[in-house]
Amino acid sequence: MSDVFHRPRDWAIRPERRLFEVTWDDGNVTEYGWEDMRRACPCAFCSGEGSYKGMVNADTKFNETQITLKEVHPVGRYGLTPVWGDDHDTGIYTFKMLRRAAGLE
């Protein structure tokens, strides 16, 4: 564990491999499969909030459009928001969460 706050230096959508790739300021490069990334969407609709369980779990079947990553936008200085093929864009993936998912934190 580290208390240094790392940010991406760059990121890229790789349609040919259906991956999202992040290059971090410490030189690490991490990759996220689109489907796994969509399944991990942290927005209230997908992952739930309070007593509401959310629409997405380990058994959720996605269609091709839902797991096609169209764009990624920065959110403040702490995260990224992907825009999916079905225009779902409410999930904020913090840098911390992305690094943890890749085993870096």
Q: Which residues bind Zn ion (CB under 5 A)?
A: 41, 43, 46, 91
Q: What is the closest distance, in whole angstroms, from the C-beta atom of residue 45 to Zn ion in the complex?
A: 5
Dist. CA 64–CA 59, nearest whole Å: 16
What lies within 8 Å, CB to CB, of 54 at 6+ separation is: 44, 45, 46, 47, 48
Q: What is the closest distance, in whole angstroms, from the C-beta atom of residue 59 to Zn ion in the complex?
A: 16
> Residue 29 or 55: which CB sits closer to Zn ion?
55
Q: What is the closest distance, in whole angstroms, from the C-beta atom of residue 89 to Zn ion in the complex?
A: 8
> Residue 3 or 87: which CB sits closer to Zn ion?
87
Dist. CA 92–CA 78, nearest whole Å: 9
Q: Which sign, positive or negative, has the C-alpha torsion 24, 9, 20, 5?
A: positive
> Residue 9 or 53: which CB sits closer to Zn ion?
53
